[in-house]
Amino acid sequence: MTEKQRIGIVGGTGYAGAELLRLLSAHPNAEVIAVTSRGDAGTPVAEAYPQLRGVIELDFVEPSTANLADCDVVFFATPHAAAMRDVPALLDAGKRVIDLSADFRLKDATEWASWYGVEHACPELIERAVYGMPELNRARIAGAQLVAAPGCYPTAVVLGFKPLVEAGLVDVDRLIADAKTGVSGAGKSLKPGFLFAEMQESFKAYGVAGHRHLPEIRQSLAALAGADVGLTFVPHLVPMIRGIHATLYGQLNAAGHDLQALYEKAYADEPFVDVLPAGAMPETRHVRGANMCRMAVHRPGGGNTAVVLSVIDNLVKGAAGQAVQCFNLMIGVDETRALAVPGALP
C-alpha cells in the first residue's frame, strides 16, 4: 500500500478548500498537516468549519514556503493570480502541486493575461502544467509535478461534448453551451448579487459577452477536434447552493448515428461519468456531494440537433473531487479512492 502523503492546503477557508478537507480527511493515503489562511491564521480549522470538529485538529497558518516545507503534495484553493506567485518555489523544493485556480489552465500566457487582467508571474511553468481532467489526460496526470485542475463549467461542458467532437459528428463552428450554476461557485464573498434576498426566486444570465471559462472550454474542445472551435457559452445563476447543469447543443453533420451507443461506449470505463438510459433527464440533486458527471444525450424529434444534458456538483467533480481524483493518479492508487460515494439526496 502506498504510504501516506503529507498534504498542505493553501486557501483553506473557501468552499473548495473545505471540500478538500472533507474528502482528504477520509483518504487512507493522505495526512493533512498544514492548512493556510491569511485572514484566519492562528484559529482552529474546526472553528471555521464545525463539520470538521474532531476530524481536522489543526489551526490555520500563514501561507509560506516554510509552513509547507514538510508537505509532499500541496493543493491550492485560492483565487486566480495567487498560486502562480508561490508555485515556483514549491516545485523547486520538490513538492507536487495541484492548483484548483485558473493560473495554469490556459496554455497561452498572453491570453490568460487578457482574461484575468494581470501579467502571468511564471509563464515558463504553463507548458509544464498538466490539465487535470482525467478523462482527457489520465496518463500525463500520473507523472505530473504540476496539475491545473479544470474549472467547474469546463468540466461539465467538455465531458458533455467530448464523444460528439471526438467522433467528428457535429459542426464544431456552431457549438452552444447553456449552463446554470449554484451560488457556491462564486465563493464566500459578500457581493450584493449573491445575497439571499437578491437571488432567491430569481434566475439570471451573466458573462454573456465573455466568461473566463470560455477560453478554457475552447482550448479543450479544440484539442479534441484537432481544430479551433466556435462556441457560444452563456452561464446563468440559479437560486441553489450546489450544482451545474449544462445543456449542450451541436448540429449533427451526418444522419444515422446511434448517439446513445456512442456515449455509452465512450464512457464505459470511466468511473466518474455516468451515461443515463435513453430518454432520461439528469438532475443536479442526483450528484450533490459526489464526484460524478451524470449525462444524457437526446436527438429531439429525430432531427439534426444533438442535445446533451450534463450535471455535476461544482464543488466536487467541478473542483475538489476532481483534484483528489488527480491526486490518486499522481500517487499511484485506485482513482476512486475516497471518492466512490453516491450523492446526498434529498
Could you tell me if 163 and 308 lie in one domain? yes
Percent of the chain with pLDDT over 90: 87
Question: How much is the average pLDDT of 172-185?
Answer: 95
Question: Binning pLDDT at 50, 70 and 90, where does residue 182 land?
Answer: very high
Could you tell me if 306 and 160 lie in one domain? yes
Task: Say whether pLDDT at 1 is over 60.
Answer: no
Question: How much is the average pLDDT of 86-103?
Answer: 97
- Return the pLDDT at 211: 93
Task: Say whether pLDDT at 294 is over 80.
Answer: yes
From the list 133, 322, 119, 116, the residue with the least C-alpha distance to 219 is: 133
- Return the pLDDT at 188: 74
Could you tell me if 118 and 164 lie in one domain? no
Could you tell me if 174 and 82 lie in one domain? no
User: How distant is the alpha carbon of residue 222 from its chain centre?
Assistant: 19
Q: What is the rounded CA–CA span in Å between residue 115 and residue 334?
A: 36
Could you tell me if 169 and 94 lie in one domain? no
- Return the pLDDT at 344: 86
- Return the pLDDT at 73: 98
Could you tell me if 123 and 260 lie in one domain? no
Is 99 among the domain residues?
Answer: yes
Q: What is the rounded CA–CA span in Å between residue 82 and residue 103?
A: 8
Domain membership of residue 187 as a residue range: 153-314
- Return the pLDDT at 189: 72
Question: Binning pLDDT at 50, 70 and 90, where does residue 186 land?
Answer: confident
User: Taking the C-alpha atoms of 338, 12, 150 and 284 in order, what is their torsion angle to the nearest 10 degrees?
Assistant: 70
Is 345 among the domain residues?
Answer: no
Q: Are 208 and 234 in contact (CB under 8 A)?
A: yes
- Return the pLDDT at 35: 96
What's the number of domains the chain is made of? 2
CATH of residue 235's domain is: 3.30.360.10
Could you tell me if 157 and 303 lie in one domain? yes
**Per-residue pLDDT tens digits for 15-53:** 999 999 999 999 999 999 999 998 888 999 999 999 999
From the list 250, 98, 243, the residue with the least C-alpha distance to 172 is: 250
CATH of residue 9's domain is: 3.40.50.720
- Return the pLDDT at 187: 79
Could you tell me if 207 and 280 lie in one domain? yes
Could you tell me if 115 and 164 lie in one domain? no
Could you tell me if 78 and 162 lie in one domain? no
Could you tell me if 29 and 113 lie in one domain? yes
Residues tagged active-site: 152
- Return the pLDDT at 33: 97
Could you tell me if 272 and 180 lie in one domain? yes
- Return the pLDDT at 213: 96
**DSSP letter string, 240-300:** -SS-EEEEEEEEBSSS---HHHHHHHHTTT-TTEEEPPTT----GGGGTTSS-EEEEEE-G
Is 329 among the domain residues?
Answer: no
State the chain's mean pLDDT as an integer.
95
Is 19 among the domain residues?
Answer: yes
